[in-house]
Amino acid sequence: MQWTGKIIGGALGAFMGPLGILLGAALGHQYDLKAQGQAASGSRLGASQQFFLATFRVMGHVAKADGRVSEREIEAARGVMSSLRLTDNQKREAIGLFTLGKRADFDLDGELAELRRSCGTHPELLRVFLEIQLRFALAGNDMSGPVRLRMTRIASLLGFSGAVLASLEAALRGGRPGYRPADSQASMESRRAAAYRVLEIEPSATAAELVKAYRRQMSRHHPDKLKANGLPDSMMEHAKERTQQIREAYEFLTERRGLG
């Protein structure tokens, strides 16, 4: 018997009181009946739907890595939902999924195996997924203790090495779009270092390597390309923020190098 819809429906309904729980479970039951029919015909969730479900279930799992979910992690989850500009209905669904991910019996390996299957030949979607989880982990507890270990495992299950994870972490720590520190020598050096991290190249890179890195990063994060490959509309804000960050890093470095 399918129970996913009943659990999700009940969790979402819990925010509306006892009547909401019954209503949510009833709606979830209809979901389960539909899911059973899909399973019988051999069909599976598409990349877009699987991406959304996995994003918040895995986020809940990461939050519970040390055995408890802190207020800071709850606020971090809300922050990610807000930054993605989810609708009210999407936020309610995301909260229910986050709650499911906190369960002790959550199957991380199975979840990510299904995500990899759904994304098929588009590894850039998995990279975006990992970035979103990193954003949450950094905001939730700065990737400390068990959370770092859990994120390392998630990266591995998605097919990414520890070096890639470290590179993405450095890029996300490199500064948000619109970041403009004071024009002092120290702050300029800090911004220069952050820009190289965002583009994932060394300061010794040649001008040609700088252009190549910029094009590579823009290709990886271009919203239209990601959407065509299955990224949900609800995740487009992350892609837009990253392309803006990449563009600003490139423009800053070309200006400092006198290449503009």
Does residue 177 form part of some domain?
no
User: Which residue shows structure tokens 């009946």?
Assistant: 33
The answer to whether residue 179 is domain-embedded is no
Q: Verify that 130 and 16 share a domain, yes or no.
A: no
**In the block, residue with structure tokens 């199975």:** 110
Read off the pTM. 0.65
Q: Are residues 55 and 157 in the same domain?
A: yes
Domain count, the chain: 3
Residue 213 within any structural domain of the chain: yes
Q: Do 227 and 127 belong to one domain?
A: no
Read off the DSSP letter of residue 43: -
In terms of residue numbers, what domain contains 13? 1-43
Burial environment of residue 182 by CB neighbours within 10 A (0 to 12, 13 to 18, 19 or more): exposed
149 shares a domain with 67:
yes
pLDDT digits (tens, 9 = 90+) for 185-239: 557 787 888 888 888 888 898 999 999 999 988 888 888 888 887 777 777 887 8
- Does residue 94 lie in a domain region? yes
CATH number of the domain to which 245 belongs = 1.10.287
Q: Please check whether residues 100 and 143 belong to one and the same domain.
A: yes
Which tens digit of pLDDT belongs to each residue from 71-112?
999 999 999 998 888 889 999 999 999 999 999 999 999 999
Are 152 and 192 found together in one domain? no
Q: Going by C-beta distance under 8 Å and a sequence separation of 6 or more, which residues neighbour residue 60?
A: 69, 77, 97, 98, 99, 100, 101, 102, 106
The answer to whether 173 touches 197, Cβ cutoff 8 Å, is yes
